[in-house]
Structure 1
Amino acid sequence: MSDQPSAADEIMDGVYHALRAHGYADLTMQDIADECSKSKSLLHYHYDTKEDLLVAFLEHIITDSAERIEAHADDPATDRLVAFIGWFVFDADAVDREAFHIALLELRTQGPFNDRIREQLDRSDRVLRGTVAGILESGIEEGVFREVDVEETAALLVATLDGARTRQITLSGTADDGVDPTYTRRVAEASLTRVIDPILAEGVELPPLADGIGELTRETGEE
């Protein structure tokens, strides 16, 4: 079986690199073609419009994220939860990752006006909240978490982490009092302390946040 990436995978990687380099608003099909070493005509053969390609890309990264989460399904619930929280942490020098998420944030703003994009964003939200709810349910069965409303706790945690990431990438460095580059890490630590620690069963300890950072992130840095 060949380990070579398929043409579809190469195109998706091209979209990732093009978004990171050019942002959403200025992105063109030619930019994507240049990044994946494919011709613009080949991209149009597979995708009629840039919107078609970007919707396919959103579907791709959500599916990829779900698969990476599933790959850790047999890990202890505490490890999985810390890895999920660490997923949202930006290191101070993660310039490329930040540029990509800025582009994604631009794309997300189209949700209210574009049904196809909103459908993928809804799916992403379901994956994130469902992941946390599933981890909490497993942890309750394992006896490491106390009984809690898993849906409510999942919604709170995802909103907190996603909000912290959005705040850091939109406000960091914009002014003297802008958000510092360790903001997502501090919010992640606070989430562990204020949300997760109180629901731990007696005698159970969480692994340190540092152990979870990077566990769910691809080696390429793609989210």
Structure 2
Amino acid sequence: MTDPDVRASIMRAVYEALCESGYTELTAQDIADRTDKSKSLLFYHYDSKEDILGDFLEFLFERFDERVAETRDRPPVERLAVFVDWFLYGPEENDRQSFHVAMLELRTQAPYNEAFREKLRKSDDQLRAVLEEILRDGLEAGEFNEHDPEETAALLIAAFDGARIRQLTIGRDEYLEEVRRGTATWVFDDLLAEDASFPADRDPSTLPEPDQQHRLAADLGDGGNGDADESTDDDPAERDRE
């Protein structure tokens, strides 16, 4: 993909289609219908639906890196709060929930799809590196007490990811808030220096735009996707690639 505008348009279409249909029901035609391209033109840029989704995961990594860079000049405690918000969002945020359901479906394919597994492993490494950087910066700034950043990052990500998965799969919305409060009480209380405090009652859904660094919808869902191409001929060769 050489044209950034074309790629961004397709990635936005993938985002919208995943939110609406989820992974299981997603087809290349669903994606094409949300762009100004026919399915055959979509496959001019990608070899298969899996190839498109692989690039979508890569696109998310890039956007996440940009969001992290936007918060890097903030105090470590604030950056930690933004990181927590990325996982423990409010249950009423339907666009984010739909997206994370679709991403959970992608993760279930990883044991059978080496390409997905490699991308998701990269995502896990990326998340841990970001959190470890925040924790190390907090140590250097005197905002955090002495601790092992690698072990602490692994513990926090497992807790946050587990809370989100349980909320998505069994519908226990209160789990996100309980884990947020428990983390603030039992983990951050020991982690933070005496004169630092974590905003345990922070509500991600009511934050001003500069603090909503986790919101992919702001990057991918806005602005429309143009008029879809009326040409939607679906020959057998193309259908085999869905």
Name the TM-score, length of structure 1 as normaliser.
0.89
Please give the alpha-carbon distance, in whole angstroms, between the structure 2 residues aligned to 1:104 and 1:203.
Answer: 38
Residue of 209, 212, 215 corresponding to 2:212:
215
The alpha-carbon deviation at position 204 of structure 1 amounts to 1.8
Q: Separation in 2 of the partners of 1:169 and 1:11?
A: 26
Look up the SS of the partner of 1:25 in the other structure: helix
Matched, 1:80 2:70: no
Q: What CA deviation, in whole Å up to 9, does each residue of 1:169-188 have, x standing for no partner?
A: 1110xxxxxx2x23212212
Q: Deviation of residue 63 (structure 1)?
A: 1.6
Equivalent position of 1:150 in the other structure: 149
2:212 partner letter:
E
Whole-Å separation in 1 of the counterparts to 2:50 and 2:178: 36
The structure number with the bigger radius of gyration is 2
Structure 2 letter corresponding to 1:59 = E
Three-state SS of the structure 1 residue aligned to 2:71 is: coil
Query: Which residue is equivalent to 1:96?
Result: 95
CA distance in 1 between counterparts of 2:108 and 2:37 reads 28
* 1:38-49 matches, cutoff 5 A: 38-49=37-48
1:16 touches 1:222 (CA, 8 Å); kept in 2? no
Instruction: Check the 8 A contact 2:89/2:204 in 1, yes or no.
Output: no
Higher mean Cα deviation, 96-105 or 7-16? 96-105
| One-letter amino acid of the structure 2 residue matched with residue 185 of structure 1 | E
Structure with larger RCO (C-alpha < 8 A, sep 6+): 2
Take 2:49 and 2:75, find their aligned partners in 1: how far apart are those partners? Answer: 41
Structure 2: segments with no counterpart, 5+ residues: 206-210, 221-242
Could you tell me which residue of structure 1 aligns to residue 195 of structure 2?
Answer: 203
Partner in structure 1 of residue 226 of structure 2: none
Distance 2:147 2:123 in 1: 23
1:120 paired residue number? 119
Cα deviations by residue, 1:114-137 (Å, 9 ceiling, x for unpaired): 111111101110111111111010
Tell me which residue corresponds to 1:53.
Answer: 52
Fraction of identical pairs, as percent: 45
| 1:109 corresponding residue in structure 2 | 108
- Distance of 1:206 and 1:102 partners within structure 2: 28
Does the aligned pair in 2 maintain the 1:88–1:161 contact within 8 Å?
yes
* Aligned partner of residue 7 in structure 1, secondary structure: helix
**CA distance in 2: counterparts of 1:12 and 1:58, whole angstroms:** 9
Contact 2:88 2:177 in 1 (8 A): yes
CA distance in 1, matches of 2:177, 2:7: 34
Question: Structure 1 residue runs of 4+, over 4 Å off?
Answer: 211-214
Give the structure 1 partner of residue 12 of structure 2. Answer: 13
Match of 2:138 in 1: 139
Instruction: Report the Cα distance in structure 2 between the residues aligned to 1:219 and 1:113, rounded to whole angstroms.
Output: 27
Stretch of structure 1 that moved more, 8-17 or 210-219: 210-219
Q: Give the Cα separation in 2 of the matches to 1:89 and 1:197.
A: 18
TM-score, with structure 2 as normaliser? 0.82
The aligned counterpart of 2:35 is 36
Contact 1:97 1:222 (C-alpha < 8 Å) held by counterparts: no
Deviation at 1:219, TM superposition (A): 6.4
Find the residue that maps to 1:6 and give its secondary structure.
helix
Give the deviation of 1:208 after TM superposition: 4.6
Question: Contact 2:89 / 2:176 at 8 angstroms: preserved in 1?
Answer: yes
Q: Could you say which residue in structure 2 is the equivalent of 1:175?
A: none
Q: CA offset at residue 144 of structure 1?
A: 0.7
